[in-house]
């Protein structure tokens, strides 16, 4: 099991532990074979048994600790803290819930990284708050805030602009403008593939958003249809800059994206750069144009194997997009176009 965790998270330290446990178990098995004709009262049998039990118990404890770090944990309820307000006290039917200075209005989403709430800002406007599951220790606070604040440098064109970041009761949160509208994933499931004209607008807006994100020195790392919101004034990309900040709070070998939209280098556990977002952009455009996943299978392993070794069938895509998506989804990240190149190619 420890070897499995090491494989899933590409963690060399866990590989070393798994090999050590296996070596000790192998040595104990060999010793029991050598001692098969020795009386059970011999001290060597006692020593062998103690080593075997110690290794077994040590491995079980190690696996228990890993499970708490790797498996999803139940999210503790958001603390309800009444905040004092000026003026005479008035009776209240229920205490109000706050995150930092933001008053929560309703829960509007739930994901692997955290929960999303509609909230009211101190100025009275509506904002979206993502409250992360991970908790921040005092030593991690400065690093997390520095990473998360980098997202505020991204221009607001075609993105949901990040307004604020903070930590409430050791849980980090990010505040962005509230975008009314379904995600691209929801829209495709409800209405089917986009028309060629809609695809042009979608492709240009999302490529422009990625260009702004990359120009700010950020890699999205989880670009997918669920992170593209279709507002009345056009598509908006969300959740950029979160993956790197969350990575600072975990010890599982780095943040990974959604398998069907991950780049080959992400699947292999290598460093994700701007070219990884371009691959994910191509997979997202494929989904928008066809209503199907570019890489699909009965398990995560099957999907990841396709990402590494198979090419999607582009014959179902509108002709103007086939070559562009093919170039974006090259296995070699060095030959993929940059986001600025996508904009030039789309404007021809």
Cβ contacts of 347 within 8 Å, gap of 6 or more: 204
Among 177, 204, 238, identify where a domain stops: 177
CATH (domain of 303):
1.10.510.10
Q: Identify whether residues 173 and 290 lie together within a single domain.
A: no
Q: Identify whether residues 201 and 298 lie together within a single domain.
A: yes
Mean pLDDT score of the chain: 82
- Residue 81 falls inside a structural domain: no
Q: Identify whether residues 105 and 66 lie together within a single domain.
A: no
Single out the residue of 211, 300, 221 nearest to residue 265, CA to CA.
221
Distances (CA, A) of 42 to 39, 45, 151: 6, 6, 66
Does the pLDDT of residue 180 top 70, yes or no? yes
Q: Identify whether residues 195 and 52 lie together within a single domain.
A: no
Task: Return the bridge partners of 102, or none.
Answer: 99
- Residue 87 falls inside a structural domain: no
Q: Identify whether residues 164 and 190 lie together within a single domain.
A: no
Q: Identify whether residues 173 and 206 lie together within a single domain.
A: no
Cα–Cα distance between 219 and 242 in angstroms, integer? 9
Q: Identify whether residues 221 and 306 lie together within a single domain.
A: yes
User: Do residues 116 and 130 lie in contact, with contact meaning Cβ atoms separated by under 8 Å?
Assistant: yes
- 8-state DSSP, 159: B
CATH (domain of 164):
3.30.200.20
Q: Identify whether residues 283 and 326 lie together within a single domain.
A: yes
Q: What are phi and psi of 203, to 5 degrees?
A: -65, -45
Query: Per residue in 206-231, pLDDT tens?
Result: 999 999 999 988 899 999 999 999 99
Q: Identify whether residues 271 and 341 lie together within a single domain.
A: yes
Q: Which of 42, 168, 222, 239 is the catalytic position?
A: 222
Query: Per residue in 27-44, pLDDT tens?
Result: 877 877 777 777 777 777
**Binning pLDDT at 50, 70 and 90, where does residue 136 land?**
confident
Cα–Cα distance between 28 and 51 in angstroms, integer? 8
- Residue 342 falls inside a structural domain: yes
- Residue 220 falls inside a structural domain: yes
Query: Per residue in 151-175, pLDDT tens?
Result: 888 887 789 888 998 888 888 899 9
* pLDDT attached to residue 264: 96
**Domain boundaries, position 132:** 98-177
Q: Identify whether residues 152 and 263 lie together within a single domain.
A: no
Structural domain tally of the chain? 3
Cα–Cα distance between 278 and 284 in angstroms, integer? 10
- Checking phi first, is residue 45 left (phi over 0); if not, alpha (psi -120 to 50) or beta? alpha
Higher pLDDT, 4 or 124: 124
Q: Identify whether residues 217 and 285 lie together within a single domain.
A: yes
Does the pLDDT of residue 245 top 70, yes or no? no
Helices (H), the chain: 2-9, 12-34, 43-70, 138-149, 184-191, 196-215, 242-247, 264-267, 274-290, 300-309, 319-328, 339-346
- Residue 198 falls inside a structural domain: yes
Q: Is 222 a catalytic residue?
A: yes
- Residue 173 falls inside a structural domain: yes
Among 177, 192, 220, identify where a domain stops: 177
Query: Per residue in 141-153, pLDDT tens?
Result: 887 787 778 888 8
Q: Identify whether residues 255 and 193 lie together within a single domain.
A: yes
Does the pLDDT of residue 56 top 60, yes or no? yes
Among 52, 70, 88, identify where a domain stops: 70
């Amino acid at each position: 099991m420890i070897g499995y965790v090491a494989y899933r998270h590409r963690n060399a330290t866990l590989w070393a532990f798994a090999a050590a446990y296996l070596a000790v178990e192998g040595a104990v098995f060999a010793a029991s074979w050598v001692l098969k004709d020795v009386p059970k009262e011999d001290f060597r049998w006692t020593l062998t048994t103690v080593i075997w039990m110690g290794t077994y118990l040590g491995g079980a404890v190690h696996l228990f600790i890993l499970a708490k770090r790797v498996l999803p944990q139940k999210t503790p309820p958001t603390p309800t803290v009444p905040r004092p307000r000026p003026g005479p006290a008035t009776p209240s039917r229920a205490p109000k819930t706050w995150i930092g200075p933001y008053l929560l209005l309703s829960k509007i989403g739930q994901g692997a990284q955290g929960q999303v709430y509609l909230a009211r800002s101190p100025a009275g406007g509506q904002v979206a708050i993502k409250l992360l599951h991970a908790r921040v220790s005092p030593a991690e606070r400065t690093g997390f805030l520095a990473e998360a604040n980098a997202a505020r440098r991204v221009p607001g064109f075609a993105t949901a602009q990040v307004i604020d970041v903070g930590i409430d009761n050791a849980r980090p949160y990010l505040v962005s403008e509230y975008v009314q509208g379904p995600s691209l994933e929801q829209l495709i499931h409800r209405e089917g593939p986009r028309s060629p004209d809609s695809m042009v607008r979608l492709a240009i807006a999302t490529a422009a958003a990625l260009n702004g994100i990359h120009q700010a020195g950020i890699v999205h790392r989880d670009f997918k249809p669920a992170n593209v919101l279709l507002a009345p004034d056009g598509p908006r990309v969300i959740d950029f800059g979160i993956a790197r900040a969350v990575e600072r709070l975990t010890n599982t070998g780095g943040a990974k994206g959604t398998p069907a939209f991950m780049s080959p280098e992400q699947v292999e556990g290598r460093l994700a750069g701007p070219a990884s977002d371009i691959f994910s952009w191509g997979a997202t455009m494929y989904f928008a144009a066809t209503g199907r996943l570019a890489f699909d299978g009965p398990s995560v392993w099957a999907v990841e194997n396709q990402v590494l070794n198979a090419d999607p069938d582009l014959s179902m895509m509108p002709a103007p997009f086939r070559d562009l998506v093919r170039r974006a989804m090259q296995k070699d990240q060095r030959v993929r176009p940059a986001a600025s190149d996508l904009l030039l190619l789309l404007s021809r």
